[in-house]
Structure 1
Amino acid sequence: MSFNTIYVMLMWVRMAPPLPLIFFLLMIHGVSSAGWGVSYSPSHICALKDSTVIMRCTYTYPTTGYQIKKVFWTKGPILRWWGVEHPDLSNDPEYSQRLQYLGDKQQNCTIRLSHVTLKDSHMYYFRFTTDRPGGKLTGVPGVTLTVTDLQVESPERVTEGDSVTLRCKSSCALTDRATFIWYRNSQPLTERRDRNNELLLQSVRREDSGRYSCAVDGHTHISPAVQLNVMYPPVKPVISISPSGEIVEGDSVTLTCISDSNPPAEISWIKGGTTVGSGRIFNISKISSDDSGEYKCKSINEHGEKYSDAVTLNIMYPPRNVSVSISPSGVIVEGDSVTLNCISDSNPPAEISWFKGRINILQSGETYSITNIKSESSGDYHCSATNNHGSQTSAAVNVNIMYPPRSVSASISPSGVIVEGDSVTLNCISDSNPPALNISWIKGGTIVGSGRIFSISKISSDDSGEYKCKSINEHGEKYSDAVTLNVMSVRCFSSVTVGVAAGVGVLLGGASGAFVMYICLTKRMNRRSAMKEISDPNEDTYTALELKSTTSDLYDTLTTVDRRPPEDS
């Protein structure tokens, strides 16, 4: 008993009415007189919150001459003025439903207090009264009850692979032998059920993360949960793509990087070798074909980093930039082999159709080949590229086939009889590509002129003969077949002698003579007409001319170069 307690009791005795000394002595624990006493076992109890506590107690009193009238338990402090009764806990609303007296009115004064709370931590005493005046006794000191909670002691952060110890702590050492039970995320860890209040996690894993709590076997109270935070590097990330099907140019696409790590990782996105974004979600609105390619995400925290496998974005789009190329790219000569290639940018690859002008060639494929090409293949070509997202047609390209001259021919104009003095034109017709720029005319073996047209004014009999033209371009040359130029020489009589001439003509040459006569007459008439125009008195230009010279009736004697013997009759 402490000095203060004894002092207070002495003061109380001093101030109280005189009492038999025996009653004072019975107030002091361990002091008894003539068989008076109260004993507690144990005198200190550490109980778990919400548990049931047994306070074991025995008492003695002289059995001769005394009879127990009342027994009850109370809680301190108990030192009051003399004559003040101590409260009976069985009458206290806070205890009445939880307190059960297990003793009797002879020796046993044990009680049971159930569902103890932290507020129940007090000093408790047993008190009894007898039928004799002053025969009352309170057993002091009483039973010290301390009610404790449970708390889990855990490090705030641990790293995967560390060894970790968790402790289930109470504010006092539990009186009853305790078997501890551990819980993770409210689920019991059945493999950890022992008397030790420690939970040892050797080489802690990320799966060990969670909220830990503890309890004592046989008790309902469970400690508040404490989070065990196990740090670990990222696991290999996985990428998901939305939408998951075909992606067409213009769509919006979302890439999500899924990565488990603690603490949460920083995420970056890599296309090829270039970082293109950050964050767990990477959005591409109005995606284009330029966004096609392989993407990875990198997950990194203070404990390590990991890369995902690459995923491929394959962006579909209609044909574009459709064009035609020609091989060989230079001059194409008849007989060469030529390949036309249709160039198209599209995804998926386009189907190709070929056209010459507006006519479908009925051939498909990126290339259109022509072997031993002919001039008939010259023209404008284009291709059309089509896939299930659209189509586009190329601009036309011209295929121009070069070839040497061919179908060379010469013609004479006028086409009838040619008489000395006439004007004659020879025309050379030639088919070639490029057009022949070098055309020459050959009479016999001699070049007599050049150019597509060869003109002879005032032709003479000396110009008679066979003529050819030669057509030349850079790819070859060719001669025409020969044409014969036959020039007739004619002299006519004067008008006086026309009749005689006609007769002579008949005598001389029959039909030939008549034809010559026709020529002479025609010339005469043309001459007269010309002279008439010249002698127009209204024209000052010709007034100086001597018109009399134009009326001469004298002509040279008619001769012909064509003297044929008479035909056999």
Structure 2
Amino acid sequence: MYPPKSVSVSISPSGEIVSGDSVTLNCSSDSNPPALNFSWFKEGKSVGSGRIFSISNISSDHSGEYKCRSRNKHGEKNSDTVMLNVMYPPKSVSVSISPSGEIVSGDSVTLNCSSDSNPPAEISWFKEGKSVGSGRIFSISNISSDHSGEYKCRSRNKHGEKNSDTVMLNVMYPPKSVSVSISPSGEIVSGDSVTLNCSSDSNPPAEISWFKEGKSVGSGRIFSISNISSDHSGEYKCRSRNKHGEKNSDTVMLNVMYPLKSVSVSISPSGEIVSGDSVTLNCSSDSNPPALNFSWFKEDETSAVGSGQSFSISSFSSSFSGRFYCEAQNKYGSQRSASVSLTVKGVQRAALHTVSGIVVGCGGLIFIIIIFIIIVFIKRKKRREGGTEDVNQKQTADASDDTYAALDPASRTSADIYSTITSVQSRAPDDTYTALELQSRSSEYETLAVTSADPH
């Protein structure tokens, strides 16, 4: 009699065991008396009894080291362990992202695919259904917004394959591709309603601000203008901003078309218009598109008197005097200006200046004549009184007699008088001074005043 010895385990069927198969483990031993007590252990834990240990529909969970224990009344003995290696397709496939938490453009990111399979599986990576890589690890350095999206891995061995659940790679980045669109497109006319839309790509979504000519005019992705006018014309842009940065769109031109307004007339040269002057009337207006047609009218006349932005009148005369206005027109309408008055001014004043010049000129001539009459009168008086005169005085008297004769209104013209006066002035300046000096004598002045009325 002896206790168990040569205890061993055999597996049936032999060869590769695949999940789903049925497997039998048989425990054999040599003992006397024969062992009647058999126990089975997996990884040290009791899993059954009896010489035969059967597993139907085996799975990966049955893989492991098995042994049996044979016992009789004289003792017991364990077999060597045998490995039950169950082959199975991938299962429990999943993806983890490192580092965890918020991912910002420029970071480096690693995706790890884990799976359970026997034999080990091959790993493939997919983004949005398209293959992007292979291997258990998928790394992205200097990540950008283009890497955002849904990722998954596929684990495959010869027994089958399995995909992981998708994971979202959510890359944070500042705004980019910022642009403005105008609706409706095409020509914009005053009174229309217009919408400006700002589109941008950013994560997280950005806050939108609107600017016209550099000044803030609104916020929000949509900027609406109802009953648009010419005041709304100008360059617009939007600014997209999130916590990672900001970006401006390119400027867009909001070009509002509108009919004529603020039509006015200016006169060049400004100021007084004298007969013979050249005058230009210029018509200015505000419109979009600019006015191309200008017509000129004179009040109380039915037909136009001119065309073009400028209307010129050369050699202006009183016949042109009146009130004029212009009418400007573009394809959206027309408007007339207020009337301006064109009048020939300064004609009477010019005539008055001419007459005054004549009077002044004649007055100066009369004054000279009177002076020489005084000289002549004084010389003749001295002669009658028998006063002694020197040679120079006699010459002066002779010259004075000549002057007297020359000034005789009955025989001399104004041209002759002027010639004579000029001659006398050059010949007797000293005598002229003497005559002027004698005017201070009141008695003689009175005599002169009485006799000056009679030139003889």
Gaps of 5+ in 1: 1-44, 49-147, 491-512, 523-552, 554-569
User: TM-score, length-normalised on structure 1?
Assistant: 0.57
Q: Which residue of 1 aligns with 2:325?
A: 468
Aligned pairs (5 A) from 1:48-127: 48=4
Please report how far the alpha carbon of residue 458 of structure 1 lies from its aligned counterpart in structure 2 after TM superposition.
0.9
Please report how far the alpha carbon of residue 521 of structure 1 lies from its aligned counterpart in structure 2 after TM superposition.
7.5
Q: Following the alignment from structure 1 to structure 2, what is the Cα–Cα distance between the partners of residues 188 and 487?
A: 133
Q: Which residue of 2 aligns with 1:435?
A: 290
Gaps of 5+ in 2: 358-414, 416-456
Please report how far the alpha carbon of residue 467 of structure 1 lies from its aligned counterpart in structure 2 after TM superposition.
1.5
Distance 1:253 1:382, change over 3 A: same
Distance 1:175 1:365, change over 3 A: same
Distance 1:46 1:422, change over 3 A: same
Distance 1:217 1:375, change over 3 A: same
Please report how far the alpha carbon of residue 321 of structure 1 lies from its aligned counterpart in structure 2 after TM superposition.
1.8
Within the alignment, does 1:200 sit opposite 2:35 as a pair?
no
Q: Following the alignment from structure 1 to structure 2, what is the Cα–Cα distance between the partners of residues 350 and 479?
A: 50
SS of corresponding position for 2:61: helix
Within the alignment, does 1:399 sit opposite 2:399 as a pair?
no
User: TM-score, length-normalised on structure 2?
Assistant: 0.71
SS of corresponding position for 1:251: coil
Number of residue-to-residue matches in the alignment: 352
Distance 1:202 1:231, change over 3 A: same
More helix by share: 2
Please report how far the alpha carbon of residue 479 of structure 1 lies from its aligned counterpart in structure 2 after TM superposition.
0.9
Q: Aligned-residue CA RMSD in angstroms?
A: 2.6
1:177 to 34, 40, 55: 34
Contact 1:410 1:427 in 2 (8 A): yes
| CA radius of gyration, larger in | 1
SS of corresponding position for 1:237: strand
Q: Which residue of 1 aligns with 2:165?
A: 309
Q: Following the alignment from structure 1 to structure 2, what is the Cα–Cα distance between the partners of residues 519 and 249?
A: 92
SS of corresponding position for 1:177: coil
Aligned pairs (5 A) from 1:312-331: 312-331=168-187
Aligned pairs (5 A) from 1:330-341: 330-341=186-197
Q: Which residue of 1 aligns with 2:93?
A: 237
Within the alignment, does 1:372 sit opposite 2:223 as a pair?
no
Q: Which residue of 1 aligns with 2:24?
A: 165
SS of corresponding position for 2:65: strand
Please report how far the alpha carbon of residue 515 of structure 1 lies from its aligned counterpart in structure 2 after TM superposition.
5.3
Contact 2:263 2:285 in 1 (8 A): yes
Q: Which residue of 1 aligns with 2:303?
A: 446
Q: Which residue of 1 aligns with 2:64?
A: 210
Aligned pairs (5 A) from 1:242-261: 242-261=98-117
Please report how far the alpha carbon of residue 301 of structure 1 lies from its aligned counterpart in structure 2 after TM superposition.
2.2
Q: Following the alignment from structure 1 to structure 2, what is the Cα–Cα distance between the partners of residues 329 and 280?
A: 52
Please report how far the alpha carbon of residue 415 of structure 1 lies from its aligned counterpart in structure 2 after TM superposition.
4.4
Q: Following the alignment from structure 2 to structure 1, what is the Cα–Cα distance between the partners of residues 148 and 121?
A: 26
Please report how far the alpha carbon of residue 464 of structure 1 lies from its aligned counterpart in structure 2 after TM superposition.
2.4
SS of corresponding position for 1:518: helix
Within the alignment, does 1:346 sit opposite 2:202 as a pair?
yes
Deviations 1:391-419 (A, max 9, x none): 11223333232222211122333444434
Q: Residue type matched to 1:405 in 2?
A: L
Q: Residue type matched to 1:266 in 2?
A: E
Deviations 1:14-71 (A, max 9, x none): xxxxxxxxxxxxxxxxxxxxxxxxxxxxxxx6654xxxxxxxxxxxxxxxxxxxxxxx
Distance 1:380 1:410, change over 3 A: same
Contact 1:338 1:369 in 2 (8 A): yes
Q: Following the alignment from structure 2 to structure 1, what is the Cα–Cα distance between the partners of residues 61 and 211?
A: 69
2:151 to 260, 270, 295: 295
Q: Which residue of 2 aligns with 1:152?
A: 9
Q: Following the alignment from structure 2 to structure 1, what is the Cα–Cα distance between the partners of residues 230 and 206?
A: 31
Contact 1:318 1:346 in 2 (8 A): yes
SS of corresponding position for 1:165: strand
Contact 2:125 2:132 in 1 (8 A): yes
Q: Which residue of 1 aligns with 2:338?
A: 481
Q: Following the alignment from structure 1 to structure 2, what is the Cα–Cα distance between the partners of residues 377 and 520?
A: 62
Q: Following the alignment from structure 2 to structure 1, what is the Cα–Cα distance between the partners of residues 349 and 24?
A: 147
Q: Which residue of 2 aligns with 1:517?
A: 352
Distance 1:249 1:413, change over 3 A: closer
